[in-house]
Amino acid sequence: MKVFRNKFSQYVRLSEDAWTPFDDLDQRSETFEAGEDLIVAGQDANEVFVLQAGWALRYRLLEDGRRQIVNFMLPGDVFDLQSLSDLKADHTVTAITDCDVTVIPSRPFVKMLQESSHIAAAFWWSAVQEDSILREQIVRIGRRSARERIGHMLLELHRRYAGATGEETDELVMPVTRADIADALGLTPVHVSRTMSAMRRSGLIEEERGSIRLLDRERLSRLSHFDTDYLHLKKLDLLKKEMAANGKGDAAGLTQINAREKEAP
Amino acid sequence: MKVFRNKFSQYVRLSEDAWTPFDDLDQRSETFEAGEDLIVAGQDANEVFVLQAGWALRYRLLEDGRRQIVNFMLPGDVFDLQSLSDLKADHTVTAITDCDVTVIPSRPFVKMLQESSHIAAAFWWSAVQEDSILREQIVRIGRRSARERIGHMLLELHRRYAGATGEETDELVMPVTRADIADALGLTPVHVSRTMSAMRRSGLIEEERGSIRLLDRERLSRLSHFDTDYLHLKKLDLLKKEMAANGKGDAAGLTQINAREKEAP
DNA sequence: CGCCCCGTTGAGGAGAGTCAATGGCTGTGG
DNA sequence: CCACAGCCATTGACTCTCCTCAACGGGGCG
């Protein structure tokens, strides 16, 4: 439960009390093993998932076996809000590592959103952020070179991971194969391997079984034209300062950080 | 106003009365000329747009001038639901043709959604559909050949256009240059031109100043692995049959067409 | 009429794909 | 405890799709 609120605190910080309508929901915890499907394309979707621990990915398979990974899901991510419309899932979601997931039936979830506008705002932001990530993925695949794509994705995952866990290191524990990266970025595993080898040689990254260290985020950002803005977050350190200053959270139970920021010219 | 409800009727059909909370909103009509920006990246977004007539596109520019078109907006499309979170726009939206747009300030819009769950459901579906289109765009760019990309996009636009207008012809009036298509599909104008010439030669399409005729949708669908399912619509003819059978709409003001469909095994 | 934008076509080049072989690591079973 | 299988990353050689540069022609518009 921790991780999930951690992520949301990047947009609004709700007091413990403000979350009770959510906590009171009839929800269950489930564990999926690596490789298991959480959501299967074509099946009715009527539950909302919150990933508490582990990595998952959403993909689509073409008839001839080509696979496209649409996006990665990290701790704190919420999906499939699509289920709120009672439609069939159009993509499959698979666990990369073992995953702890909170599962909530859609109907009571919707009801809760209607009754608690603060929580609704938080989830709405999460949906907006996911949209932004999808759009950025389009730009990445459509108009960037292999090296730019890889660098850009590493930086995004790093930022999202830091946002969810609150950690701030150069290390990115990334349980992902070259084939996964390739299928996410519209490349082949071979070419991903080559490109990442080159990045290692030029001192941008360092790898050690399942973990990537971003050695020079500055340079990497420049090379891959990475700009955090699209994640709709404040810089983390600024956030931390505010949190320290504010103490436990304001009486209204809601701190609209982004709204406040607009006061600057 | 017609077009917009036309589109929504693909998911739920609301009686005239059910729409009054929406009609009562303090909204204004605006016209944008071809080439004008409706939304500019980096600016605060606090209005929702409904495109009533014309085509628009959402794009992002990289520092070195590369452009990626994220998606096209057709009559009936709603954007930017992002504005409901009071964030800055992360992409620019430009009119391709002259556009008639309904503009609604976010706050009253949100309030209306909270008070009218039927309308909220309709808009939610629209957002889900847009998400689906984005994901499909990722698959298209990431894992398809030039010909597949073009064919697939033509079919999508055709289907969406038909859904919005209710027309059902092979003609697609498409005010879009080769450069636009290229920037949408991650290609170059030159290669788009070549590929479309080949498609013309093999009898798939026919062009006549700003209008494309899909000569063999069957074959085109097969070639580009197109599957309407992701648009979350029923086939239009089926819908029309239902509309004819049901007459003016049910007493509750809400027909959850997709829900009903689930009864079949 | 002449300009500009757009689409087309050709020639040559490059980034990424394909095919294939090698080696490391992990897990499993004799 | 070792042998072997399976998966994954890497590297080389070659290919191909798509890109770049460039020239040309048509149509709309002042």
- pLDDT tens for residues A92-107? 999 999 999 999 999 9
pLDDT band at A259 (very low <50, low <70, confident <90, very high): very low
Inter-chain touch B185–A256, beta carbons under 8 Å: no
- CB contact under 8 Å between B66 and A134, yes or no, is no
Lowest mean pLDDT among A178-182, B55-59, B244-248, B257-261: B257-261
Could you say which nucleotides of strand C lie within 7 A of any protein CB atom? Answer: 6-11, 15-20, 25-26
For the segment B203-229, the average pLDDT, to the nearest whole number, is: 93
Check pLDDT > 80 for residue A241.
no
Give yes or no for A90 touching B (CB within 8 A).
yes
Report if CB B146 to strand D is under 7 Å: yes
- For A29-83, the pLDDT digits (tens) are 999 999 999 999 999 999 999 999 999 999 999 989 999 999 999 999 999 988 9
Nucleotide closest to B191 measured between CA and C1': D18
Q: Is B61 on the interface with A (CB under 8 A)?
A: no
pLDDT in tens, B56-70: 999 999 989 999 999
Q: Going by C-beta distance under 8 Å and a sequence separation of 6 or more, which residues neighbour residue A259? A: B86
CB B25 within 8 A of CB B87: no
B207 touches strand C (CB under 7 A): yes
Question: Distance from A265 to chain B by nearest Cα, in Å?
Answer: 12
pLDDT above 70: residue B233: yes
The pLDDT of residue A1? 59
pLDDT at A112 over 90: yes
Name the residue among B38, B92, B72 with its Cα closest to residue B177.
B72
| Confidence class for position A153, pLDDT limits 50, 70, 90 | very high
Q: Is the peptide bond before B227 cis (omega within 30 degrees of 0)?
A: no
Residues A200-218 have pLDDT tens digits of 999 999 999 889 999 999 9
What is the pLDDT, as a whole number, of residue B142? 98
Q: Do A232 and B256 touch (CB under 8 A)?
A: no
Q: Which helix (H) or strand (E) holds A137?
A: helix A117-143
Selection from A158-167, A254-263, B34-43 with the highest mean pLDDT: B34-43
Residue A197: CB less than 7 A from any atom in strand D: yes
Chain A positions touching B124 (Cβ under 8 A) are: 84-85
Given a cut of 80, whether residue B79 has pLDDT beyond it is yes
Chain A CB contacts of B117 under 8 Å are: 114
Which residue do the tokens 């765009």 mark?
B137
Residues from chain A that touch B135, judged by Cβ atoms under 8 A, are 58, 60, 70, 90-91, 134
Averaged over A117-132, what is the pLDDT? 92
- Average pLDDT along chain A: 87
* B131 vs A contacts (CB less than 8 Å): 82, 131, 134
CA–CA distance, A9 with A105 (Å, rounded to integer)? 24
B70 touches chain A (CB under 8 A): yes
Strand D: which bases are under 7 Å from protein Cβ? 8-13, 17-22, 28
Rounded Cα distance between A204 and B239, Å, is: 55
Could you tell me which of A4, A48, A52, A2 has the C-alpha nearest to residue A26? A48
Overall pTM surpassing 0.95 (yes/no): no
Selected residue with higher pLDDT from A154 and B239: A154
Domains of chain A: 2-261 (2.60.120.10)
When pLDDT is cut at 50, 70 and 90, the band that residue B264 belongs to is: very low
Query: Is the pLDDT confidence value at A192 over 80?
Result: yes
The confidence score (pLDDT) of residue B140 equals 98
What integer pLDDT is reported at residue A254 of this predicted model? 44
**Predicted local distance difference test score (pLDDT) of residue B179:** 97
H-only helix segments in A30-105: none
A146-165 and A189-201 are packed helices; what angle lies between their axes, rounded to 10 degrees?
Answer: 80
Confidence of residue A3 (pLDDT cuts 50, 70, 90): confident
Q: Is B125 on the interface with A (CB under 8 A)?
A: yes
Residues 140-179 of A with CB under 8 A from B: 141-144
Phi, psi of B88 (to 5 degrees): -85, 145
Compute the nearest-CA separation of B218 from chain A (Å). Answer: 17
Tokens of B193: 């031109």
The verdict on A186 touching B (C-beta cutoff 8 Å) is yes
pLDDT tens by residue, B118-131: 899 999 999 999 99
Tell me what pLDDT residue B214 has. 96
Question: In chain A, which residues have their Cβ closer than 8 Å to the Cβ of B66?
Answer: 143
Can you give the distance from the CA of residue B199 to the C1' of nucleotide D14 in angstroms? 29
**pLDDT at residue B234, rounded to an integer:** 54
The partner residue sitting opposite A86, judged by closest CB among B62, B66, B258, is B258
| CA gap B70, A228 in Å, rounded | 18
User: What does each C-alpha distance from A86 to A5, A43, A195, B28 come to in angstroms?
Assistant: 26, 11, 42, 32
Higher pLDDT, B251 or B48: B48
Can you give the distance from the CA of residue B186 to the C1' of nucleotide D5 in angstroms?
41
**Minimal CA separation from B185 to chain A, in Å:** 7
**Which residues in chain B are closer than 8 Å to A60, comparing Cβ atoms?**
135, 139
pLDDT at B50 over 60: yes
Question: Which of B72, B125, B126, B135 has the highest number of chain A CBs within 10 A, making it the mutation to test binding with A?
Answer: B135
A34 CB contacts (<8 Å, ≥6 apart)? A95, A96, A97, A98
Name the residue closest to the C1' of D9 by its CA: A193
State the burial class of residue A236 (Cβ atoms within 10 Å of its Cβ: 0-12, 13-18, 19+): middle
Residues B177 and B180: their CA atoms lie apart, in Å, by 5
The residue-averaged pLDDT of A179-193 equals: 98
Q: Which residue is nearest to nucleotide C24 (CA to C1')?
A: A209
| Residue B93 pLDDT level (bands cut at 50, 70, 90) | very high
